[in-house]
Chain A
């Protein structure tokens, strides 16, 4: 399969922990990357590889993976974390790329 599946929407109370998941067969072979996209802006990389954060990304963002599921966890969600989150990986062939459908995170 060349698809990545995400829940369309997730909500979290301010300061609480939220997990956003991404499922797909390719995740058994390849790491997922996670991107945050706010309205009118380009996506920003927040997690890549096993569990790496680019410079400038707060340490409340973390990533994990098990089997065909990758997860992005925000520990102590802040109002500024409200955004769309997309997972991405190479497809099962390794030659192409696939994105998840995105998860809209609402911070209550």
Chain B
């Protein structure tokens, strides 16, 4: 059974650094066909992709937030950590981690998708 669970502070002050941890089970972060992504959703708004990391340590970041984000993993602990610096009230959102699954379909296309999501954790930025 695949599960992902986000943990971290519920409240951070403006200018502080947010550190979120995603603890996974049911799959290994060393699996070449799997990765983990962070995605956020401000209240009442759309989903926004933030970052991803794969078993080979391939990382990518949202262009608009790249300067503020760092993603890392500890395979032995089955954890993926996201840090976001210089938090602002506009960063108030529910933060989700999601598993990325990769495969080649019958037509030879390389498909990647978010197949399992954590429950999300609401982070409020306020002084």
Contacts and interface: CB of A to CB of B under 8 A. Distances in A.
Q: Is the interface of B mostly helix, strand, loop or mixed?
A: strand
Contacts of B107: 50
Contact of B113 (A44, A48, A98, A102): A48
Interface stretch (B24-32, B43-51, B70-78, B79-87): B43-51
A97 B37 contact: yes
Interface of B: 37, 39, 46-49, 52, 60-63, 96, 105, 107, 109, 111-120
Contacts of B49: 88, 96-99
B49 to A, nearest CB: 4
A90 interface: yes
Interface of A: 2, 31, 33, 35, 42-45, 48-50, 54, 86, 88, 90, 95-102
